[in-house]
Amino acid sequence: MLADAESRTGIDAREQADLVAEAKRLVDDGPDKPFLDVHFSDSKNGLIVGAFGMALSTADGGLSWKPIDHLVPNRKHKHIYRIVAQKAQLWLVGEQGALFLSRDGGRSFEPSPMGNFLQTVVSPLSIRPGVCLSRALGPAGSNATAS
């Protein structure tokens, strides 16, 4: 993770400094940030997500992993609990209602059109192209939300 942040090209110096500082902090903290979900689209290509917005991908069946959290617009580093897949769409479902959508199999992510709705997503219930229905806990208790 640190080596990836230090060698990243195509970004401005401030963004790279922020990536390096975050990577150093994570390395210094040690292995206390759990992975919470994994998804493989085939025998080689996979994605793993976890605490504090960690996201990594593999193209070799899990022999090596590279950080991709810079592709997820998760500025507050919210935990990402689940990966929900529907063909080339991937939904990352996280804390406080964080929902991120990839329409290209995980090469890029965008915030859900619905945005963060300040709830804790417990679990995605179903998905179809363009829609992720999830059960969430909010101020009024449990409810279902579509994005």
The tokens for 66 are: 């590279």
Whether the Cβ atoms of residue 88 and residue 101 lie closer than 8 Å to each other: no
Residues 113, 130: Cα–Cα separation, whole Å = 10
Whether the Cβ atoms of residue 137 and residue 122 lie closer than 8 Å to each other: yes
> pTM of the entire structure?
0.66
pLDDT in tens, 81-98: 999 888 778 989 888 888
The DSSP symbol for 98 reads: -
The tokens for 58 are: 């593999």
pLDDT band of 130, cuts 50, 70, 90: low
